[in-house]
Structures are given as structure tokens and as C-alpha cells.
Structure 1
Amino acid sequence: MSTQDTYRTDLADFLGINADRISLYWKGRVGLYAVLKAMGLGPGDEVILPAFTCVVVPNAILYTGATPVYVDINPNSLCCDVQSIEKAITPKTKAILIQNMLGLSYEVHEIGSLAKARGIYTIEDCTHGFGGKYQGQVNGLMSDAAFFSSQWNKPFSTGIGGMLVINHRALKEPLQKINATLVAPSFKDRVVLSALIWARTYLLKGYTYWTLLRWYRWMSNKGWVVGSSSSEELVGTTMPEGYVKGMSLVQCRKGIKSLKSLQKAMLLRKNNALKVHDWLVEHHKMCVPQPLMEDHAFLKYPVLVKDREAFIEKAEKARLPLGDWFISPLHPVKSSLVPWGLNINQYPHARYISQHIVNLPLEGDLSRLMNFLELYQNEIL
């Protein structure tokens, strides 16, 4: 069995499905693009998605020629609810993205039932949700298709990378034709990614986190290293050269290794999330609603703060690796969102959350983090 087949089989075993339903890609967003093409989307079609996501998601839609239609989020779940989605449906709607946010899925069955009744495809955005469940069912298996990410800081990592799961039989054949056109990662791609994986494994520590993060983002924006997003993806809506790319053996080997420790990592994150949650409740802060806790896989724990820049600056001085997902309704774009067809004034919840959210790390010992929260509790909403 090849390395890619072994990795695909390991993923399938973890999800409880057949391996032939899984396609592997250089990045998860390529899986979204591929399935949209397999669904036959193009000019004149619409795709409903949250107005609080990563810019690469509407990019994948725009690359097909289709139009993204944004829906505001529920401020409690950070996901869209079925009522808001229903209002956005038009005769042009061909697909609905059901987003998992930081490990939390929300109203998946309700949205799926609505879409099925209207003859609309559903796609789970599980870039944060691999390994989690919603009402006892595995994330990614409750819709027509689902795409996942295994980039840095995701449930498990292949450096960069992602995959697609197909649940609708009619999509299998057209997807195979699209996969046959995938570009292979170049020698440079593989070497640079291997070096980054090594650096992250051996050099990225608490005291080096912020310095290396700034360096990595600057280098990736320049196109000098393999980044989560290329500079082209952050400034416009033209598909970058070599976008439709398959997964390398470097990523597969890293994925095989990472999956072996995923269950242990998920349990640690869940236990740590409960500690943070209890502290937030005790101090009367905003937190994940209790009814959503049981199925929440918790990639990170989201909290809202009065002044995010000041709060993150304090965390940097304390050498705590806080996350900044999402710093804008279309992360990480801070400039005008007009090229992506999004007017932030029409989505007040997404705008507010994107101005105040930080996410707390849930790996390892939380002693320093909890002390930090105690020290700056008045800055937390």
C-alpha cells in the first residue's frame, strides 16, 4: 500500500467510512473548490456561507464563477442558524456551507433538512472540526460533502494540507475527473514544507511563538515560504497559479504520525476547555452556551475582550500563544472586503465578534494561562 493510500485509510478508519470517499489536497480550500466544480457550479449560481470565515472560502467560490451570498452569524455559536440561511435562499442558490467554528457545529441537521427540501447541496466546512461530533454524529458525515484542513493549529497537522469527504454518490465520478487534473507539489514545495515542519517541531516554543509567527506570516505573504495563504489570495479574487494541487508524501507521512496522537490531544483540549469554561462562568463572562458543550470538540476556546490589540500585546509579553481567528469577517483581510462582495455593515454580529474575539490555546498545562486570565479578567467581556 502506498503512503497516500495508508494515510487515506487511516483517515477513513478514524471517521468510520470507506477510504474511496476521501480525496487529498495540498490545502483544504482546494477540496472546497473541487467539490463545487463537481457539483457543476459556475456563473449565475449562488453559494450561501457565513459572513465570518476565512477569505479562502469565498475565494474558492469565486474561482468557479459562482457568487458568495453571506449570512450573519449567531453571536452565541459563532455559526449561522437555519432561519438566517432560509432568508438568503433564492432560485439561484446551489449550495450551502455549514461551518464548524473552532470545533463547534451548529444546527447541522436543521440546515440539511432545509437544503434537501429545496434541492440544494450542503457542504460542511470542517476545517476546525476533524474528529468532533454533532449530536452524536461525526463531523463531516451529515452533508453531501465536507472539506477539512490539516494546516498548522488545526485538530491535527500535516504542516499544510487538507482533504475532502464525499457523502453524495452522484459527486464521485465528476470529482474523479477533477482530481485527475491535480498538479503535483514541486520539489521546492516539498523541501520548504519539510523545513517548516522541522522548525515548528523543534524551534516553536512559548518564548519564541510571537517572533516566529510574525516572521512566518511576513515570509509567506512575500511568497518566500509555504504559507497558509498566498499573497494573491489576500488581495484579490484571481486564482493563484498552481492552486489546484494534490497532496505530497511529506504531508501524508506527517499526517499518519499526527493521527496516532489525535485522540489523546482531543481529550486534553476538551478537559482544558472545561476548566476555562468553568472559570468564565464563575466570573460571569461570555462563554460557549452550556447546551452546546457536550458535542464541542474545542480546537480553541473563544473569548471576547474589550481591546483585542492591547490584550494580545499583554499575552505576547507574558509569552502566551493566543490566537487571533478571526480578525475580520474575512480573515485575515483588514482592508476593504468589496472584492469579495461583503459589506461589513450588513452583518453586525460578524463585525462585532471579529473586532473583539481572541482564542485561547488548549494544549498542555493551563496554569500560566489561568493566571493570566485572573490578572486581566476586567478586560474580558
Structure 2
Amino acid sequence: MSLLKKITTKKNDLYARLIDLLGGQFKRYDWYCFGNARGALAFMLRTAGIGIGDEVIISAYTCLAVPTAILSTGATPVYVDINIDSLSINVEKIKDSVTPSTRAIVVQHTLGNIFPVADLKSQSWSKGILIIEDCALSIGSRINGSLIGLEGDAAIFSMELSKTLSTGWGGLLLISNAAYVDVAKNLYSRLPSQNTWHSLLDFFQTAVSGISYHPAFFQAFGKYVIGFFYKIGFFRNSTSIEELAGLIPNGFVSRLGIAQVALAEIQWLKFSLITNACAKNFIEIAREARRLGYRTHIYESDNQFCVSNRVSLMVQNPTQMLEYFKRQSIDLGRWFDGPLSPLPVGWPFNYEPDKFPFSQKVARHIINIPSHSRLSIVDRKKIIKVLRSYTSENPDSISVY
């Protein structure tokens, strides 16, 4: 047997095992693996026949990847402002944005916040409109005991470097509406796989980043290692230069590479372990932040189990807080600071920030504290200690809105 055939056979086995594993974590629906989550979203829209002349409603507070996926089909993204208390797209404002051209609504579970999909589906005006759940930022979250992603017609999950479960790059599509399954299977069978060399480069970036971004190493040497590999071109950004300009790069929709399939299997085998550890860090840090007076956007309840690898806070001076924590070797984030993040340079995105005051306000004041599963108890205690000291030294830091 040739080496190529062995690799192909191994790859098919890995795909089969991963799909079986995913079906075990969730109710058994149809799963598809992609090179990235934006490709998964684009694929679902194409499966539904969405294209030129159609409109897709999305949150005005989101990653650029979402409207890029819509643009790749020829459809038009239509943005809706968020509820400032939950960071979720506002259901009532969705109603005002629906037109005869509306074919789909993408609802985003943002930074652990669970969007009430059932409330949206109960609205008479939502009938006949495809509902896709964007679970990229809240993998493992549950409502009434059920994992998010099961209430819409379909759901997308991201396994990008910064996500709770990561293969460096990668996206998953779950289709729960049987009406789309046959078309999806036919389209997917004709999709190319990610280039093996690029897949191995992404694997290398994932492995090096996993070590370099570790809290114990990042400030000492990790950031220099990361910077070096970006400089020589071995590492790539999540959003390409073409996408920033509204252009769709070649291979935008492709199957997950073989190296990422293998990593995905390892990650999803540890699904409960990773998401529970992440949730523990998330809850402990969020509780302390609330005790200190910060708005965290997450409030614990009996029917919700929220998972996010970031605790989002609203603060008066995000830059000051970033620098303070950095001096203590803690790397904070500003995700999303766009509010469409990263801000595009091309006109096709149909985005006018001034129309979305709540999204803009959050983007100006948000800060993200790490709560990922790799944090040890010592790391978590250090973060809480630094948060206390920062708040004590800067009593006016808490953002009021």
C-alpha cells in the first residue's frame, strides 16, 4: 500500500471516530468537520440555498468571520444590536430587522451567555427562517441540562487557538433539521480536504502556542517565541488580509486537515474534563469580580451551566488594566473590541457602527480575564489577587452603564 493511501485510510478512520465521538457528546445528529468555523457557517448557508439577494441577520457584536461567511455566499449580512446585560443579540430588535429577504438568523452564545433560542423560535415571525446557533464562544454550556447547539436548525462550533477546545484551527457543523441532511451530504462529499502541508504547519503552531501561551511561560519567553514564528511566516493569523477587505480566499470552505482531526479526537475525548475545569475557573473569577462590583454579564442560575474561557468585565480604562495585569505576568484580552472584530477595511460588510450603540459601548469598555482549563488553582488565585489589588488601587475603574 502506498504512503498516500495509508494516510488517506488513516484519515478516514479518524474522521469516522471523531464523528462517532461527537454524536456521543450530543444527541446523534449529522456532523461535518471543516478547516474553520466560518467555513462551516458558509457551508450551512449554501446547503440552505442562501445566496445573492438574501439577507442573514447576525449580532452587531461578533467576530468578522461571521459576516465573511455570509459574504462568501453572495448574501448580505444584516446586523442587530445586543442586549447590554447579556451581550446577546436582542430578540425584539431582530423582529424589526426581518424583511421578505431574510433567510436566516445566526444567534451567538457570547462568552458563556446562553441565547434563548426557544424564545426566538416561539415568535410567529421567525417561522420559515433558518436558525443557526453560533456556539464558538460557549462550547460546553448547558441550559435545562441540555448542551447548547441542539435547539436551532443547525449549530457551528469553533476549535480555533483561542477556544475552549482547540485544534489550532477547525470548525464543526451540527445539522439537526433533517430537511437539510441529504443536500449537506452531497455537497460535503465534493469538498476538498485542507492541504496536508498546511495542516501540519497549523499543528506545529498549535503545539508551540499551547506551550508558549501557558501562564507560567508567556511573559518570560512565550511571547518572543510566538513573535518569531509569526515573523518568519510559520504562524498565520486567524483572519487573513483578504478577509479584512471582504475578499474570500481560496479554500475558504474545506474539510478539516488530518492533523487537526487527530487533535480534535483527543480534545473531544476530554470534553467533560476540559469544560468542567473551564467552568470552575470561570465561576470563581466571575464571582469575585461581582463581589468587587464589576458587571460580568453572567449571572448564575439553576437552569444554566455557563462555560467560557474568558470572564468579560466592563471597566473604565481597559488599557490601564491591561498594563497593570501585564506587569504581573497575566495576559488579558480585549475581545471583541471592534465591535465587529477585527474591524474590516472593505466596504462589502454593510457595517455602520454608529447604528449599534450598545455594541459600541461594550467594545470600548470590555476586558477579558482568562479562565481557560489550563489555569491551575495557583493561577486562578493569582488572578483573583491581582484583580483585588487593581480594584483597590483604582477604585474608579469599575464601569457604570
Given the two structures, how large is their TM-score scaled by the length of structure 2?
Answer: 0.87
Query: What's the counterpart of residue 162 of structure 2?
Result: 153
**1:185 aligned onto 2:199:** no
Q: Of the candidates 336, 339, 351, which is equivalent to residue 360 of structure 2? A: 351
Between 89-98 and 188-197, report the one with greater CA deviation: 188-197
Equivalent positions of 1:299-318 (< 5 A) are 299-318=309-328
Match of 1:380 in 2: 398
- What are the superposed Cα offsets for residues 187-207 of structure 1, whole Å, 9 maximum, x if unpaired? 320221121122123333325
State how far apart, in whole Å, the 1-side matches of 2:130 and 2:273 are: 34
Q: Is the 8 A contact 1:185 1:247 kept in 2?
A: yes
TM-aligned CA deviation for residue 26 of structure 1:
0.6
1:209-239 alpha-carbon deviations (Å, 9 max, x no partner): 36756875896699653432222112x1111
Aligned equivalents of 2:225, 2:334: Cα separation in 1: 16
CA distance in 1, matches of 2:37, 2:111: 16
Q: Distance in 1 between matches of 2:179 and 2:199?
A: 34
> What is the alpha-carbon distance in structure 2 between the residues aligned to residue 221 and residue 245 of structure 1?
26
The residue number in structure 2 matching 1:3 is: 14
The separation in 2 between residues aligned to 1:286 and 1:319, in whole angstroms, is: 24
TM-score by length of 1: 0.92
Q: 2:305 aligns with which of 266, 283, 295?
A: 295
Q: 1:30 to 1:281 in 2, by over 3 A?
A: same
SS, match of residue 281 in structure 2: helix
CA distance, structure 1, for counterparts of residue 32 and residue 131 of structure 2:
18
Could you tell me how far 1:261 is from its partner in structure 2? Answer: 2.6
Aligned length: 377
Contact in 1 for aligned 2:36/2:171 (Cα 8 Å): yes
Map Cα deviations across residues 237-292 of structure 1 (whole Å, 9 max, x no partner): 11101211111121111111112333122222222222223223322221235365
Which residue is equivalent to 1:262? 271
Structure 1 Cα separation of the partners of residues 328 and 346 of structure 2: 33
CA shift, 1:33, in A, is: 0.1
Counterpart CA distance in 1 for 2:298 and 2:263 is 35
Task: Measure, in 2, the Cα distance between the counterparts of 1:224 and 1:213.
Answer: 15
Counterpart of 1:367 in structure 2 is 381
**Equivalent residue letter for 2:137:** H
Percent identity between the two aligned chains: 26
Residues 1:76 and 2:116 are matched in the alignment:
no
Deviation per residue, 1:149-199 (Å, 9 max, x gap): 011121211111011000111111221232133222223202211211221
Give the secondary-structure state (helix, strand or coil) at the position aligned to 1:255. helix
Superposition pairs of residues 87-102 of structure 1, within 5 angstroms: 87-102=96-111
Alpha-carbon spacing, 1:60–1:292, altered in 2? closer, same or farther (3 Å): farther
Q: Any residues of structure 2 matched to 1:120-159 within 5 Å, and which?
A: 120-159=129-168
Aligned partner (choices 324, 330, 333) of residue 320 of structure 1: 330
Name stretches of at least 5 consecutive residues in structure 1 with no aligned partner. Answer: none
Counterparts of 1:217 and 1:337, CA distance in 2: 27
The offset of 1:356, in angstroms, is 1.2
1:32 CA displacement: 0.1
1:4 aligned partner, one-letter code: Y
SS of structure 2 residue aligned to 1:290: coil
Structure 2 stretches of 5 or more lacking a match?
1-11
